[in-house]
Amino acid sequence: MEPSRLPGFLLRRGAKAAIVILAIVVCNFLLIHAAPGDPASVIAGQSGAADERFLAQLREQFGLDKPLHVQLWIYLKGVLTLDLGFSHRQQQPVWGLIAERLPATLLLTGAAFAFALAAGVTLGALAARRVGTWADSLITVVALTFYATPIFWVGLMLVLFFSVWLEWLPSFGMATVGVELTGVAAVLDVAKHLVLPAATLGLFYLAVYARLTRATMLEVADQDFVKTARAKGVPEGQVVRRHVLRNALLPVITFAGIQAGQLIGGSILVETVFAWPGIGRLAFDALLARDYAVLLGVFFCTSVMVVLFNLLTDLLYAVVDPRVEVEG
Amino acid sequence: MSLLKVENLTVALPPGGDRPHAIEDITLEVDAGEILCVVGESGSGKSITANAVMGLLPKGLAVKAGRIVFEGRDLLALSPEGMRRLRGARLAMIFQEPMTALNPVMRVGEQIAEAMRVHGAGAEAARRVPELLAAVKLPDPAATARAYPFRLSGGQRQRVMIAMALALEPSLLIADEPTTALDVTTQMQILRLIREIQSRRGTGVMFITHDFGVVAEIADRVAVMQHGRIVEQGPAAEILNRPQHPYTRALIAAVPQGAPGSAPPSSAPVILEAKGVEKTYRRTGGWFGPKPEVRAVHHADFVLRKGETLGLVGESGSGKSTLARCVVKLVEPEKGEILFEGADLRPLSRRAWKPFRKRIQMVFQDPFASLNPRRRVGEIIAEGPITHGAPRAAALARARELLALVQLDPGAMERYPHEFSGGQRQRIGIARALAMEPELLIADEPVSALDVSVQAQVLALLADIRARLGLTMLFITHDLRVAAQVCDRIAVMQHGAIVEQGPTAEVFGAPRHPYTRQLLDSIPGRGWTPPVIAA
Amino acid sequence: MREFWRRFRRNRGALAGLVILVLIILLAAFAPLLYPGSPWEMATAPFVPPGEEGMLLGSDSLGRDVAAGIAHGARISLMVGAVSTIAALSIGVTLGAVAGYLGGVVDDAVMRFTEFFQTIPSFVFAVLLVAIFTPTIGSVVFAIAVVSWPPVARVVRAEFLSLRSREFVQAAEVLGKSRIAIVLTDILPNALSPIVVLSSLMVASAILLESALSFLGLGDPNLMTWGFLIGAGRSVIRLAWWMSVFPGLAIFLTVLALNLVGEGLSDALNPRLARQRGGAT
Amino acid sequence: MSLSRRGFMAAAASAPVLMRASEALAQGIAPRRGGTLQMMLTPEPPVLQIGVNQQGPTLVAAPKMFQGLLTFSPALEPEPVLAKSWTISPDGREYVFALQEGVKWHDGQPFTAEDVVFSIMKFHMELAPRARAIFQLIETCEARDPLTVRMVLKQPFQPFLLMFDATAAAMVPKHLFDGRDYRTAPAVQRPVGTGPFRFVEWQRGNFIRLDRNEEYWKPGQPYLDSIIYRIIPDSQSRRLALESGQVLLSQTNDIEPFDIPALRQRPNLEVHTAGWEYFSPLSWIELNHRVKPLDDARVRRAMSMAIDRNFIVNRLWFGVGKPATNPVASTTRFHDPSARLPAFNVAEANRILDAAGYPRNAQGVRFTLKHMALPYGEIWTRLSEYLRQAMRNIGINFEMESTDAGSWARRVGNWEYETTINFVYQFGDPTLGVERTYVSTNIQRVTFTNTGGYANPQVDALFLRARTAAAAAERQAAFSEVQKLLIEEVPQIWLMELSFPTIHDRRVRNVITTGLGVHKSFDDVFIAG
* Interface ipTM: 0.78
Among A27-31, B43-47, B482-486, D412-416, which stretch is predicted with the lowest mean pLDDT? A27-31
- % of chain B surpassing 90 pLDDT: 16
Average pLDDT over residues A40-54: 62
Average pLDDT over residues B296-323: 88
Distances (CA, A) of B340 to B153, B275, B529: 38, 11, 39
User: Can you tell me the distance from the alpha carbon of B422 to that of B389, in angstroms, rounded to the nearest whole number?
Assistant: 31
CB atoms within 10 A of CB B269: 9
Q: What is the pLDDT of residue D9?
A: 38
CB contact under 8 A, C222 and D399: yes
CB atoms within 10 A of CB D200: 13
pLDDT (tens digit, 9 = 90+) per residue, A190-231?
888 899 999 999 999 999 899 899 989 988 988 889 999 999
For residue D360, the cross-strand partners are: none
H/E element, D301: helix D297-305
Q: What DSSP character marks residue B337?
A: E
Phi, psi values for residue C176, rounded to 5°: 90, 20
Average pLDDT over residues A164-168: 80
Q: Which candidate from A148, A273, A298 shows the least CB-CB separation from C259?
A: A148
| pLDDT exceeds 70 at position B261 | no
CB contact under 8 A, A61 and D183: yes
Distance from CA of C223 to the nearest CA of D (A): 9
CB contact under 8 A, C119 and A266: no
3-state helix, strand, coil in chain A (%, to 5): 80, 0, 20
The dihedral of CA B3, B8, B14, B18: what is its sign?
positive
Q: Answer whether C91's CB lies under 8 Å from C149's CB.
A: yes
User: Can you tell me the distance from the alpha carbon of B36 to that of B29, in angstroms, rounded to the nearest whole number?
Assistant: 8
| pLDDT exceeds 50 at position A328 | no
pLDDT (tens digit, 9 = 90+) per residue, A108-128?
999 999 999 999 999 999 999
Among C83-92, C117-126, C256-265, which stretch is predicted with the lowest mean pLDDT? C117-126
| pLDDT exceeds 90 at position D503 | yes
| pLDDT exceeds 70 at position D486 | yes
Average pLDDT over residues A289-316: 79
pTM: 0.80
Average pLDDT over residues C179-206: 87
pLDDT (tens digit, 9 = 90+) per residue, D276-314?
888 889 999 999 999 989 999 999 999 999 999 999 998
Among A312-326, B148-162, B494-508, D26-40, which stretch is predicted with the lowest mean pLDDT? A312-326
Residues of chain D with C-beta less than 8 angstroms from the C-beta of C61: 258, 382
Q: Give me chain D's average pLDDT, please.
A: 86
Q: Answer whether C254's CB lies under 8 Å from C24's CB.
A: yes
| pLDDT exceeds 70 at position A91 | no
Rg (CA), chain C: 22
Q: Which candidate from C135, C218, C235 shows the least CB-CB separation from D256?
A: C235
CB contact under 8 A, C128 and A287: yes
| pLDDT exceeds 60 at position D25 | no
Distances (CA, A) of C203 to C89, C117, C196, D115: 11, 20, 11, 65
Residues of chain A with C-beta less than 8 angstroms from the C-beta of D62: none
For residue D398, the cross-strand partners are: D369
| pLDDT exceeds 70 at position B285 | no
User: Can you tell me the distance from the alpha carbon of B257 to that of D406, in angstroms, rounded to the nearest whole number?
Assistant: 88
Residues of chain B with C-beta less than 8 angstroms from the C-beta of A235: 84, 118
Average pLDDT over residues C5-23: 86
Phi, psi values for residue D71, rounded to 5°: -140, -175
| pLDDT exceeds 80 at position C260 | yes
Q: What is the pLDDT of residue A168?
A: 85
Q: What is the pLDDT of residue C108?
A: 86
C241 touching D (Cβ < 8 Å) = no
Q: What is the pLDDT of residue D7?
A: 36
Where does the pLDDT of residue C271 fall: very low under 50, low under 70, confident under 90, or very high at 90 and above?
low
Q: What is the pLDDT of residue D4?
A: 36
Q: What is the pLDDT of residue D14?
A: 41
Where does the pLDDT of residue A51 fall: very low under 50, low under 70, confident under 90, or very high at 90 and above?
low
User: Burial code of C115-137, b = ≥16 C-beta within 10 A, e = fewer?
Assistant: ebbbbbbbbbbbbbbbbbbbbbb
pLDDT (tens digit, 9 = 90+) per residue, B396-426?
998 998 888 888 888 888 888 888 888 889 9
CB contact under 8 A, A149 and C244: no
Nearest to D177 by CA among D199, D198, D197, D192: D192
| pLDDT exceeds 70 at position B168 | yes
Distances (CA, A) of D195 to D15, D60, D524: 19, 13, 12
Question: Which of A51, A98, A193, A276 would best serve as a mutation to test chain D binding (most D beta carbons within 10 A)?
Answer: A51
Q: What is the pLDDT of residue B264?
A: 62
pLDDT (tens digit, 9 = 90+) per residue, D200-230?
998 877 789 999 999 999 988 899 999 999 8
Q: What is the pLDDT of residue A88?
A: 67
Q: Which amino acid is at D462?
A: L
Q: Comparing D405 with B71, which gets the higher pLDDT?
A: B71
Q: What DSSP character marks residue B96?
A: S
Residues in chain B: 535
Q: What is the pLDDT of residue C176?
A: 87
CB atoms within 10 A of CB C53: 13
Crossing angle between the packed helical segments A94-129 and A279-288, to the nearest 10 degrees: 130
Phi, psi values for residue D205, rounded to 5°: 75, 0
Q: Answer whether A242's CB lies under 8 Å from A131's CB.
A: no
CB contact under 8 A, B43 and C190: no
User: Can you tell me the distance from the alpha carbon of B291 to that of D93, in angstroms, rounded to the nearest whole number?
Assistant: 91
Q: Which amino acid is at B498?
A: I
Distances (CA, A) of D206 to A271, B54, D43: 13, 67, 11
Among A285-294, B221-230, B321-330, C243-252, which stretch is predicted with the lowest mean pLDDT? A285-294
Q: What is the pLDDT of residue B258?
A: 63
| D467 three-class SS | helix
Distance from CA of D421 to the nearest CA of C (A): 15
| pLDDT exceeds 60 at position D21 | no
Q: What is the pLDDT of residue C120?
A: 77
pLDDT (tens digit, 9 = 90+) per residue, D322-364?
999 999 998 888 999 999 999 999 999 999 999 999 999 888 8
Q: Which candidate from B93, B100, B119 shows the least CB-CB separation from A231?
A: B93
C232 touching D (Cβ < 8 Å) = yes
Where does the pLDDT of residue A44 fall: very low under 50, low under 70, confident under 90, or very high at 90 and above?
low
Q: Answer whether D48's CB lies under 8 Å from D184's CB.
A: no
Determine the distance from the C-alpha atom of residue B280 to the mean position of all C-alpha atoms in its chain, rounded to a whole number. 27
User: Can you tell me the distance from the alpha carbon of D249 to that of D229, in angstroms, rounded to the nearest whole number?
Assistant: 10
Touch C-D: 3+ C-beta pairs under 8 A: yes
Distance from CA of D314 to the nearest CA of C (A): 11
- % of chain A surpassing 70 pLDDT: 86
Q: What is the pLDDT of residue C277?
A: 32
Q: Give me chain A's average pLDDT, please.
A: 81
Q: Which candidate from D256, D259, D389 shows the least CB-CB separation from C40?
A: D389
Q: Give me chain C's average pLDDT, please.
A: 85
User: Burial code of B54-87, b = ≥16 C-beta within 10 A, e = fewer?
Assistant: bbeeeeebebeebbbbbeeeebbebeeeebbbbb
pLDDT (tens digit, 9 = 90+) per residue, B444-469?
998 888 888 888 888 888 888 888 88
Q: What is the pLDDT of residue D16?
A: 43
DSSP B257-312: -S--SPPPPTTSPEEEEEEEEEEEEE----SSS---EEEEE-S--EEEETT-EEEE
H/E element, D89: none
